[in-house]
Amino acid sequence: MSVNKEIKRITTNTLVKMKATGEKISMLTAYDFSFARIIDEAGIDIILVGDSASNVMAGHETTLPITLDQMIYHAQSVVRGVKRSLIVVDLPFGTYQGNSIEALSSAIRIMKETGAHAIKLEGGEEVVESIKRIISSGVPVMGHLGLTPQSIYKFGTYQVRAREEEEASRLKADAKLLEEAGCFGIVLEKIPAQLAKEVSESISIPTIGIGAGKYCDGQVLVMHDMLGINHEFKPRFLRQYLNLYELVNGAVKEYIEDVKQQRFPDETEQY
Ligand code: KIV
């Protein structure tokens, strides 16, 4: 008897159904083949090739410097490691804000050159035209509201957004606009939990929160933060599941000592 090893892929439709049935959606970032394979095999629903690669992979202070070519490189590596998860790729800063034709050509490059399944971009009303144009070409789009790191120099800080009524109302209106434009989901970053609840209940597409509380339809974290690779970063919303910095640091120290003391390699580790 042959065992059916066919893997059922997560699609944008799966996510909308998950919201409808109340099943929470799990999402993590990844930027390379090896980690993408581990988290895909662990069963993550969505892998985001985030422009946070600019911070955690390249060591920049913000997400602004990363280029479309660099995002494509990361996405290509992730795609090779993934069999089941939906792969979403961030459009980096400066590749979609100019006009909707530029946005479409950036989205098309990502889809053609990487094999990923969808793109994500930041913003509300100001990017709706671009979102519609991208979706009309057949590319699924995820929105991103609240703290949008590509606008960090406009905000001036990484503090919680939309605490005031005016910004909260704008965010709720933007979420509706993104839903009407055809987005299949929206990331809500660093906003009050109550506001995220209202938004999540007011739209039929899933909300994926990061620092936006427990009422979102799903949660996303930057993988390097939740694994404790990035050990200095400890915001309130982050649950660290591992201290990989200490584990790797400890293993490397042990290896150095073994080499210095001539304990590595031994007879069983040579030819
Ligand atoms: O780039 C990224 O990692 C993101 C998440 C914070 C949602 O956009």
Q: From ligand 1's centre to the CA of 50, what distance in Å?
A: 5
pLDDT (0 to 100) of residue 227: 98
Domain-located, residue 235: yes
**Residues 11-21, mean pLDDT to the nearest whole number:** 97
Domain shared by 65 and 192, yes or no: yes
Question: Which of residues 95 and 233 earns the better pLDDT score?
Answer: 95
pLDDT-derived band at 232, boundaries 50, 70, 90: confident
pLDDT-derived band at 93, boundaries 50, 70, 90: very high
Tens digits of residue pLDDT in 67-79: 999 999 999 999 9
> Using CA atoms, how far apart are residues 8 and 223, in angstroms rounded to an integer?
24
Does residue 66 contact residue 54 with C-beta atoms inside 8 Å? yes
Q: Which domain holds residue 129?
A: 12-240
Domain shared by 248 and 263, yes or no: yes
Give whole-number Cα distances, 237 to 4, 192, 193, 201, 210, in Å: 40, 11, 11, 21, 7
> Using CA atoms, how far apart are residues 85 and 90, in angstroms rounded to an integer?
16
CATH at residue 149 = 3.20.20.60
- Residue 30 backbone class (left: φ over 0; alpha: ψ -120 to 50; beta: rest): beta
Average predicted confidence (pLDDT) for the chain: 96
Q: Is the model's pLDDT at 3 over the cut of 80?
A: no
Would you please indicate which residues are annotated as catalytic (active-site) residues? 189
CB 49 near ligand 1, within 6 Å: no
Domain shared by 119 and 252, yes or no: no
Domain shared by 258 and 200, yes or no: no
Q: From ligand 1's centre to the CA of 5, what distance in Å?
A: 32
CB 207 near ligand 1, within 6 Å: no
pLDDT (0 to 100) of residue 2: 46
The number of angstroms, rounded, from the C-alpha of 258 to the middle of its chain's C-alpha atoms is 39
CB 82 near ligand 1, within 6 Å: no
Domain shared by 225 and 251, yes or no: no
Does residue 113 contact residue 71 with C-beta atoms inside 8 Å? no
Domain shared by 233 and 252, yes or no: no
Q: Is the model's pLDDT at 211 over the cut of 90?
A: yes
Give whole-number Cα distances, 51 to 55, 65, 84, 144, 187, in Å: 8, 9, 22, 12, 14
Percentage of residues of the chain with pLDDT beyond 90:
96
Domain-located, residue 188: yes
**Residues 36-50, mean pLDDT to the nearest whole number:** 98
Q: What is the DSSP letter of 236?
A: T
Domain shared by 36 and 95, yes or no: yes
CA proximity to 36, closest of 69, 92, 84: 84
**Residues 229-256, mean pLDDT to the nearest whole number:** 95
Tens digits of residue pLDDT in 144-191: 999 999 999 999 999 999 999 999 999 999 999 999 999 999 999 999
pLDDT (0 to 100) of residue 231: 81
Ligand 1 pocket mutation, candidates 45, 46, 66, 222, criterion most atoms within 8 A of CB:
222
Report H helices in the chain: 12-21, 33-42, 53-56, 68-81, 100-114, 128-136, 152-155, 165-181, 193-202, 223-226, 244-260
Domain-located, residue 232: yes
Ligand 1 pocket mutation, candidates 26, 29, 39, 120, criterion most atoms within 8 A of CB:
29
Domain shared by 184 and 263, yes or no: no
CB 187 near ligand 1, within 6 Å: yes
pLDDT-derived band at 230, boundaries 50, 70, 90: confident
pLDDT (0 to 100) of residue 153: 95
Q: What is the DSSP letter of 42?
A: H
185-189 and 141-146: which strand pairing? parallel
**Residues 22-42, mean pLDDT to the nearest whole number:** 98
CA proximity to 145, closest of 198, 177, 188, 178: 188
Q: Is the model's pLDDT at 1 over the cut of 50?
A: no
**Domain total in the chain:** 2
Atom of ligand 1 nearest to the CA of 52: 1
CB 220 near ligand 1, within 6 Å: yes
Domain shared by 231 and 259, yes or no: no
Domain shared by 51 and 75, yes or no: yes
